[in-house]
Amino acid sequence: MRQRLSVPFTPSRVRSEIARACLRGSLSVLFGSLSVLLQPPASAATDSGGDAIQLELSPRICTLALNDKQCDTLVRATWKSAREESLCLVILDRQDVKRCWEKYTEGTYSIELIFTEDLVFQLKDLQLQQVLASEVLRVIREAIRYRHKRRQPWNIFD
Amino acid sequence: MVAKLLLGACIAGVMPAHSAAPQDDCKGPSEDCAAVGRWNFSVALGAGVRTNPLVNGEDIPLVVIPQVSYYGKRFFLNDLDVGWTLAENDTNQLNLVATPGYDRVYFYRTDLQNFFITGFSPSGQVDYTASPTVAENTPGAVKIPPRPRRITYLAGPEWTFKVGRISGQLDVLHEITGQNGGDEIRAALGIPLLESTGVLTANIGITWKSAAIVNYYYGDNTIYEGGAALDPFIKVGYTLPLAGKWRFNAFAEYERLGNAIANSPIVAEHSVATAFVGAVYTF
């Protein structure tokens, strides 16, 4: 899954640029503004370009069968970036899991995990202040259906 | 024929409400509801006894009692009973069931039903005597030679219903294993007497056994031939949740044997009493 680092290049941002260009009333400015539109802003270019940090999980979903109480599986988290990064991989509400890299362009971390709810994996800066990328390992439970038990007055415990 | 008529009547009465489908009012595990597709195991540990009405019959100890059940969407298994739910709604359920013939438990300690009653009882696997009738030193006494009573299964429709807090059950069964071809009707009502932290419940009911069944177990070609028998029973039980998966359980049951059974020369008692006090652990 591709994660963007900075401000996203959204449709509202495009409309704002166009309005400003019209106000200037100058064809050249308009052309200039249009050229700006055609060339995404610097931060957005970073987002959509090769600098985005990619974080991938394997598996991405844990399916609990009817008789399963928890997921117990080996999870592999892999990240890649076009430039060197210094960051840490953490799991939300699981302070026991933390793996950091300094000036790496990619990294892989495998860990055996037991969990019953969704796990949120995050890549953060070394100070653990800013979230650089995030991915969720989802838990899907097979729907449990219930029905009436059969009563047996002749049974010893009914 | 009776079974067919009842099956038809039940289908006619229940089917219009709903076809077989899981109950809407069963949203989670409870005393009344079970998860579909999941095996349920429990074991009771305690002390109790079931009297044996046969002449020289040894009472049946109740010490370790395993229980197993499974509920599929329609199929179900309760210990040695298996069945198929044909139709159900919030208050009615129509099943086809197969259940073992009950009376064999008095003749054979090794009967499978005794596994679910006595479990791993310390008294071991001992066959009950089926031969003695009158003490051998009794002048003029006639000895009845032993003969086997094989495992039998009965099958037929079962209707369970609920009216307010009272639940009822009616089974019309026919022996299907080719041993006696008899019929049996079981009917009972379950009445909650007290519901707070613990639950006190009374069950009252009857078991009607055709002459074929009575004679298969208690008759003899030359000495005794009985007719049909009607056995009424009453049971009072109390269950109280304990810590974790444990719950306290105690019950007492009294069953009056019909005259056709009680008058048999191999039967010494006119009734069967059962009592148990212990704890149940659910896995």
Look at B112 and B82; give whichever has higher pLDDT.
B82
Q: Would you say A83 and A73 are in contact if contact means Cβ atoms under 8 Å apart?
A: no
* CB contact set of A87 (below 8 Å; sequence gap of 6+): A53, A79, A100, A101, A123, A124, A125, A126, A132
Selected residues 123-182 of chain B with any CB under 8 Å from a CB in chain A = 158, 160, 167, 169
Q: Would you say B157 and B6 are in contact if contact means Cβ atoms under 8 Å apart?
A: yes
Q: Which fold has domain A53-141?
A: Immunoglobulin-like (2.60.40)
On whether any CB of chain A is under 8 Å from the CB of B121, the answer is: no
On whether any CB of chain A is under 8 Å from the CB of B29, the answer is: yes
pLDDT at B65 over 70: yes
Q: Is residue B52 part of a domain?
A: yes
Domain that holds residue B182: 2-15+40-282
pLDDT at res. A95: 86
Q: Largest Cα–Cα distance of chain B, in whole Å?
A: 67
Which residue of A147, A151, A157, A158 to mutate against B (max B Cβ within 10 Å)? A147
Q: Is residue B31 part of a domain?
A: no
Look at B84 and B17; give whichever has higher pLDDT.
B84
Assign residue B239 the CATH number of its domain: 2.40.160.40
Q: Quick check: pTM over 0.90?
A: no
On whether any CB of chain A is under 8 Å from the CB of B283, the answer is: no
Q: Is residue B29 part of a domain?
A: no
pLDDT at B90 over 90: no
From the list A66, A150, A158, which residue is nearest B37 (CB)? A66
Picking from B117, B14, B170, the residue whose alpha carbon sits closest to that of residue A152 is B170
- CA distance, residue A95 to nearest chain B CA (Å): 30
What CA–CA distance (Å, rounded) separates A149 from B148? 35
* CB contact set of B17 (below 8 Å; sequence gap of 6+): B87, B89, B92
pLDDT at res. A100: 95
Residue B237's pLDDT band, with cuts at 50, 70 and 90, is very high
Which pLDDT tens digit goes with each residue over B191-217? Answer: 999 888 899 999 999 999 999 999 999
- CA distance, residue B101 to nearest chain A CA (Å): 12
Q: Which chain A positions have a beta carbon within 8 Å of B36's beta carbon? A: 144-147
What CA–CA distance (Å, rounded) separates B45 from B10? 38
Q: Which chain B positions have a beta carbon within 8 Å of A151's beta carbon? A: 160, 167, 169, 190
Selected residues 262-281 of chain B with any CB under 8 Å from a CB in chain A = 274, 276, 280
Look at B235 and B243; give whichever has higher pLDDT.
B235
pLDDT at res. B142: 63
pLDDT at res. B52: 92
pLDDT at res. A50: 53
pLDDT at res. A9: 33
On whether any CB of chain B is under 8 Å from the CB of A157, the answer is: yes
Classify B133 in phi/psi space as left (phi over 0), alpha (psi -120 to 50) or beta.
Answer: alpha
- B67 vs A150: CB contact, 8 Å cut-off? no
Look at B61 and B213; give whichever has higher pLDDT.
B213
pLDDT at res. B32: 78
- CA distance, residue A150 to nearest chain B CA (Å): 8
Which pLDDT tens digit goes with each residue over B3-42? Answer: 454 444 444 444 444 444 444 577 777 777 888 888 999 9
ipTM of this complex prediction, to 2 decimal places: 0.71
What CA–CA distance (Å, rounded) separates B49 from B68? 21
Q: What pLDDT tens digit does each residue of chain A (158 aa) get?
A: 333 333 333 333 333 443 444 334 444 443 444 444 444 433 333 344 456 899 999 999 998 876 778 899 999 999 999 999 999 999 998 888 899 999 999 999 999 999 988 999 999 999 999 999 999 999 987 777 888 888 776 665 55
On whether any CB of chain B is under 8 Å from the CB of A103, the answer is: no
Residue B95's pLDDT band, with cuts at 50, 70 and 90, is very high
Which pLDDT tens digit goes with each residue over B101-149? Answer: 989 888 887 777 766 654 444 343 344 444 444 445 555 566 667 788 8
Concatenating the DSSP letter of every residue in A51-79 gives TPEEEEEESSEEEE-TT--SEEEEEEEEE
pLDDT at res. A82: 92
Q: Would you say B191 and B222 are in contact if contact means Cβ atoms under 8 Å apart?
A: no
- CA distance, residue A138 to nearest chain B CA (Å): 23
From the list B36, B71, B249, which residue is nearest A157 (CB)? B249
Q: Is residue B157 part of a domain?
A: yes
**How many structural domains compose chain B?**
1
On whether any CB of chain B is under 8 Å from the CB of A153, the answer is: yes
Q: Would you say B169 and B163 are in contact if contact means Cβ atoms under 8 Å apart?
A: no
What CA–CA distance (Å, rounded) separates B30 from B116? 22
What's the start-to-end Cα distance of chain A, in Å? Answer: 55
Q: Which chain B positions have a beta carbon within 8 Å of A66's beta carbon? A: 35, 37-38
**Domain residue ranges of chain A, discontinuous segments joined by +:** 7-48, 53-141
pLDDT at res. A86: 94
